[in-house]
């Protein structure tokens, strides 16, 4: 066996034994919060950043149900969501539990940041105020 094949076999063996890191789950993975927040973020992004003109490059691996739905909705409305970091505006979004049924949604596009409170009550999700914008 040549050295090349031995190196390839060793590399594949090590890769196969390496643990695969699962994307972190978001508190917004469950409905009704996921659907309401994704719709709200996309509509707000369209009002602030023109689709087709503003390529987005996720700042971290995104893969949970909330993040997959958000990236799919952005693509569906004309945004270029790039895989390669640094080739577009750095994009990130996360949802934090503040207290009980109150959540904070934070969206970052480049150096700009949007945040808004959301409340889930009785199986419904609704915005708890206006978007706050910071550059």
Residue 31 has pLDDT above 80, yes or no: no
Q: What is the pLDDT of residue 91?
A: 94
pLDDT digits over 35-90, tens only?
Answer: 899 999 999 999 999 998 989 999 988 888 889 999 999 999 999 998 776 788 99
Separation CA 74–CA 118 (nearest Å): 20
- Which tens digits make up the pLDDT trace of 10-22? 444 444 444 443 4
pTM over 0.95: no
Give the per-residue pLDDT at 10: 44
Which of 22-26, 41-45, 101-105 comes out lowest in average pLDDT?
Answer: 22-26
Beta bridge partners of 117: 104
Q: Which of 19-33, 62-76, 91-105, 117-131 has the lowest mean pLDDT?
A: 19-33
What is the distance between the terminal CA atoms of the chain, rounded to a whole angstrom? 59
* Alpha-carbon span 38 to 20, nearest angstrom: 27
**Could you tell me if 101 and 123 are in contact, meaning their C-beta atoms sit under 8 angstroms apart?**
no
Per-residue pLDDT at 33: 82
Structure confidence at residue 28 (pLDDT): 52
């Amino acid at each position: 066996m040549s050295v090349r094949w031995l190196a390839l076999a060793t590399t594949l063996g090590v890769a196969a034994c390496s643990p695969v890191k699962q994307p972190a789950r978001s508190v917004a993975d469950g409905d009704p919060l996921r659907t309401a927040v994704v719709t709200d973020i996309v509509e707000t992004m369209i009002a602030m950043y023109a689709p087709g003109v503003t390529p987005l490059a996720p700042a971290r691996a995104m893969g949970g149900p909330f993040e997959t739905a958000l990236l799919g909705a952005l693509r569906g409305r004309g945004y270029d969501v790039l895989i390669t970091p640094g080739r577009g505006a750095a994009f990130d979004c996360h949802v934090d539990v503040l207290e009980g049924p109150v959540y904070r949604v934070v969206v970052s596009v480049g150096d700009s940041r949007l945040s808004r409170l959301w409340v889930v009550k009785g199986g419904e999700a609704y915005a708890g105020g206006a978007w706050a914008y910071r550059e």
